[in-house]
Amino acid sequence: MIRKLLTAHNRSALVGSGLSIVMIVVLSALLIPLRSHIPAASIALILVVPLVVSIAIGGILAGVVATIAGFGTYDLFFIPPYGTLAVGTASNWIPLGVYVLVGIVAVIINRRFQLQRERTAYQARILERLASLPATLISEHSVEQVWRTATERTVNLLDLRGAMALRPDGNVLQPANIAGDHELADKIAETFIGSNGMARIGAITIETLKVRSFALSTLSDNFGFLVIWNEELPDALVQALNVVASQISAALERTQLHDTRLKLDTLQEIDSWRASLLRTVSHDLLTPLAGIKTAITTLNEFGASLEPYEYTQLLDTALGQADRSIQLVSDLLNVTRIEAGAFHLQYQDTNLVELIQQVAVAIDFLSVNSKLDLTAPEDLPLAHVDVGLLREVVWNLLDNAVRHSPVGEVVHVTVDLDSDFFIVHIYDAGRLVEGVDQVRLFDWFHAAGTSGRSGLGLAIARSFVEAHHGRLSVHATKSGTTFTFTLPRIP
């Protein structure tokens, strides 16, 4: 690449030098017949034209060649005595000096212009490389990711030896997110971080590397410093890195604001969840507590006049409702343990039909006018499940079906299986309110309008089914509602 650039540069210098000589020859041929009629100073100005053209095309080298050629031609053919390099009178030195001075000024101006053009082109190439950096930084979702991306991408895009972040840790700065060459990272960090834990601002040289820090801050916060090191750090690169520092600062501020918003949203969600918890648990616990209170109150006021079977039934009702309250609290604790990964299922081979029948008997004892139609294959194999959790799944679904079926209607339970799963369908003639989100029906504390299918039962059932690697779903039609859950045949 460098060889190509040198070849192109030499070609331009050669073209500029040759063109200046040709122009000087042509202009001299035209001006020699008129030299006695044109002042020497005017001729000098005319010969400046090839000089300017050569510098514009070929740069300094072509300008030097044009200056020498123009000076010699001007002295030989337009300064008396003609045909010699003798200047003659002292006054003739003035146009010659002006010609040389103009040449020198033109060369200096051209050189400065070339340097500025090269610097601008170099900076444009750097900014072109960095064009994708802002979008990359904005796409990150944590401060740690922004820092890591900033250091790694800066090193890769700009071909630097290395970069690292000096991030505030309390009242001191700590090096982090080192990218590129790690060899001198510790020494650079020690050099830039003073004994008071604060950063030294500016540029230094460590061994053969130039090192520079860039402050990362906004009006509202200070995020630390980006430190980069390389063999050379030209001004154009430093200016581009100042732009990079501003982009990193903006990305860090945006990420912090995003994190703050997420925390606020989380706190609001927790508050809403807590309020729903209080409402729902209060509802689900008050129902059995009300039954317990009613039974005990009846026994207390009319116990002496009750028939023995009535007395026993009231006691059983109170005990059953107390057991349900205890079981509800136990289910909530189990859900919490499952979601935390701290609950281990106690698998054992279980007859699904017998388990469903046992739950149905218990529900029939607490319900009025409940009827059950259970269908299952005669050769249904045993299911390998946690009996305690599965009993709660069946209880919650059957209880839900019985409570929402019209009086006297039958709840249909079908147990089936395919090559991978046991499939249990529980159908009741109750209907969901039109427009109810059937997916959210299993969310914690989601209330399905006036259908009454709300509370903790369905959410607990879903959690316990998913703990078995199964799935719980609902399908509602105009004629009724079907809850279906699956259990793997081999968990």
Number of domains in the chain: 3
Residue 47 lies in a domain: yes
Q: Tell me: the pLDDT tens digits for 366-398?
A: 555 667 889 999 889 999 999 999 998 998 899
Q: Tell me: the pLDDT tens digits for 32-72?
A: 888 878 887 788 778 888 878 887 787 777 878 888 888 78
Q: Kindly tell me if the per-residue pLDDT of 441 is higher than 80.
A: no
Q: Kindly tell me if the per-residue pLDDT of 488 is higher than 70.
A: yes
My answer on whether 138 and 94 are in the same domain is no
My answer on whether 109 and 191 are in the same domain is no
Last residue of a domain, one of 129, 153, 186: 129
Query: Cα(46)–Cα(443) distance, rounded to whole angstroms?
Result: 91
Residue 449 lies in a domain: yes
Considering only residues 286 and 426, tell me which one the structure prediction assigns the higher pLDDT: 426
My answer on whether 121 and 152 are in the same domain is no
pLDDT of residue 448: 46
Last residue of a domain, one of 129, 162, 194: 129
Query: Cα(110)–Cα(107) distance, rounded to whole angstroms?
Result: 5
Q: Tell me: the pLDDT tens digits for 262-315?
A: 778 777 776 766 666 666 666 666 677 777 888 888 888 887 788 888 888 888
Last residue of a domain, one of 129, 163, 192: 129
My answer on whether 19 and 140 are in the same domain is no
In the numeric block, the tokens 């809403």 are attached to 272
Query: Cα(396)–Cα(458) distance, rounded to whole angstroms?
Result: 7
Residue 334 lies in a domain: no
Q: What is the CATH number of the domain that holds 145?
A: 3.30.450.40
Q: Tell me: the pLDDT tens digits for 93-144?
A: 777 777 777 777 777 777 777 777 777 777 777 777 777 777 777 777 778 8
Distances (CA, A) of 307 to 96, 293, 298, 312, 364: 140, 19, 12, 9, 22
Residue 312 lies in a domain: no
The pLDDT mean for the chain works out to 79
Lowest mean pLDDT among 95-99, 213-217, 334-338, 447-451: 447-451
Q: Tell me: the pLDDT tens digits for 8-23?
A: 557 777 888 888 888 8
My answer on whether 247 and 356 are in the same domain is no
Q: Give the domain range for residue 210.
A: 131-255
My answer on whether 162 and 102 are in the same domain is no
My answer on whether 115 and 135 are in the same domain is no
Lowest mean pLDDT among 214-223, 375-384, 428-437: 428-437
My answer on whether 158 and 47 are in the same domain is no
Q: Which of 52-56, 88-92, 257-261, 463-467 has the highest mean pLDDT?
A: 463-467
Q: Kindly tell me if the per-residue pLDDT of 343 is higher than 70.
A: yes
To the nearest whole percent, how much of the chain has pLDDT over 90?
12
Burial of 44 (0-12, 13-18, 19+ CB in 10 A): buried
pLDDT of residue 5: 41
Considering only residues 122 and 212, tell me which one the structure prediction assigns the higher pLDDT: 212
My answer on whether 349 and 477 are in the same domain is yes
